[in-house]
Structure formats: structure tokens, C-alpha cells
């Protein structure tokens, strides 16, 4: 990759992040309006520093062991610091038969959405 293509790649990434967050927030707002089960998959220490209103803390490393807590929920929103761990949690849940899961992305995004 030459140096000239790096700025374009960064711009595409920034555009994707901004566009996809706006698009996905509509689905998140709908799920929140229907009383979604909010799950912060960060560590307990991170969770203690603040989270979205109404969220429970189920750290990523125990999501699979806590599958029973996700069953029979109409909508589930998982989130973390940046959206990476929540993407992994979403994958874990889906591989275990729980398909009504949305990745809420960052804790900041979810705080913003739950305060509306």
C-alpha cells in the first residue's frame, strides 16, 4: 500500500463509522423503546466507572456461561468501550441460538441513546 492510499482508507473508515452508527441507532432506539435487555460486556471495574441507565454487567469472558440470562428476552443490546467486545459477545450469543441481539457499540453511544 502506498502512502497516498492511506488517507483515503482512513476517510472511508471514518465515513463508515459515522454512517453505520446513525443507521444502526434507529434499530437501537426501536429496541430500547420496546424495553431491550441492556448488557455491558466490559469488566466489572469498567462497569463501575459508569454505564448506560438500566444496563447489567455480564463481562465478555462469562457471556457463554451466562447464556440462561439471555434466553426469553425480546431484544438484547450488548455494548462495551468501543464496540469490539460487544461484537464478540453478539457472535457468541448467536452461535448459541440467541439471534435477537444488537451491537450497541460504545458505552458512550448507549448512554446518549438511553438519555434521550
Chain-centre distance for alpha carbon 107: 8
What CATH class does 5-114 carry?
A: alpha beta
Helix runs in the chain, H state only: 5-33, 44-48, 84-95, 107-114
Contacts for 94 with CB less than 8 Å, ≥ 6 apart: 101
Domain boundaries, the chain: 5-114
Indicate the pLDDT class of residue 3, thresholds 50, 70 and 90: low
Mean pLDDT of 76-82: 96
pLDDT of residue 16: 47
Phi, psi of 31, deg, nearest 5: -60, -40
Indicate the pLDDT class of residue 5, thresholds 50, 70 and 90: low
Give per-residue pLDDT as tens, 80-112: 999 999 999 999 999 999 999 999 999 999 999
Q: Say which residue, 65 or 9, is predicted with more confidence.
A: 65
Contacts for 72 with CB less than 8 Å, ≥ 6 apart: none
Phi, psi of 50, deg, nearest 5: 135, 145
Q: Which of 2-6, 24-28, 30-34, 49-53 has the lowest mean pLDDT?
A: 2-6
Q: Which of 2-16, 36-50, 102-116 has the lowest mean pLDDT?
A: 2-16
Amino acid at each position: 500500500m502506498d502512502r497516498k492510499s492511506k488517507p483515503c482508507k482512513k476517510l472511508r473508515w471514518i465515513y463508515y463509522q459515522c454512517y453505520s452508527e446513525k443507521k444502526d441507532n434507529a434499530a437501537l432506539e426501536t429496541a430500547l423503546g420496546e424495553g431491550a435487555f441492556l448488557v455491558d460486556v466490559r469488566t466489572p471495574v469498567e462497569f463501575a466507572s459508569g454505564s448506560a441507565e438500566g444496563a447489567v454487567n455480564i463481562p465478555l469472558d462469562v457471556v457463554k456461561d451466562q447464556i440462561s440470562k439471555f434466553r426469553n428476552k425480546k431484544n438484547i443490546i450488548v455494548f462495551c468501550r468501543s464496540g469490539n467486545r460487544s461484537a464478540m459477545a453478539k457472535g457468541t450469543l448467536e452461535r448459541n441460538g440467541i439471534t435477537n441481539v444488537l451491537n450497541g457499540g460504545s458505552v458512550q453511544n448507549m448512554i446518549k441513546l438511553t438519555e434521550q
